[in-house]
């Protein structure tokens, strides 16, 4: 009878240990998810700043086009055409920067891939252990 109690206590201890380990693992996975999401947010912020910079440069291009219409510039091809050309080049540069940032944003995955993989591994491990 006492052998059965010792064995039952050992099984209880094992389940207690398993429960504690599973709890610790879940907490670690939550920390991993937080870290991963923080890294992805940082990358997204950098790409977003490129979009903002591109928008600013495009805005400057628009101002150049406005200045072209108002002031005009140039003696070779006419003042108006010269200002339109300069403004158009500035606008083109802004568009290139903007679309570069948008392309980076599209390639950024926000899902915490490492955490999802780790949770799947944990789930499989728990199934094997139970």
Tens of each residue's pLDDT in the chain, 130 residues: 444 455 555 777 877 887 788 788 878 888 887 888 888 888 888 888 888 999 899 888 888 777 766 676 677 788 777 777 878 888 898 899 999 988 888 887 777 777 778 778 877 877 776 6
pLDDT computed for residue 10 by the predictor: 76
Tell me if the pTM is above 0.75: no
Tokens of 70: 């108002």
Q: Across the chain, how many H-helices and E-strands are there?
A: 3, 0
Max CA distance (Å), the chain: 110
Tokens of 57: 């440069």
């Amino acid at each position: 009878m006492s052998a059965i109690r010792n064995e039952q206590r050992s099984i209880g201890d094992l389940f207690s240990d398993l429960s504690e380990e599973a709890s610790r693992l879940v907490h670690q996975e939550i920390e991993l998810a937080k870290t991963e999401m923080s890294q992805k947010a940082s990358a997204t912020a950098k790409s977003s700043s490129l979009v903002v910079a591109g928008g600013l440069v495009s805005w400057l291009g628009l101002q150049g086009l406005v200045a072209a219409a108002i002031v005009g510039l140039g003696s070779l091809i006419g003042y108006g055409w010269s200002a339109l050309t300069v403004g158009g080049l500035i606008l083109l540069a802004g568009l290139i920067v903007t679309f570069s940032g948008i392309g980076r944003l599209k390639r950024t995955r926000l899902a915490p891939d490492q955490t999802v993989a780790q949770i799947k591994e944990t789930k499989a491990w728990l199934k094997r252990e139970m």
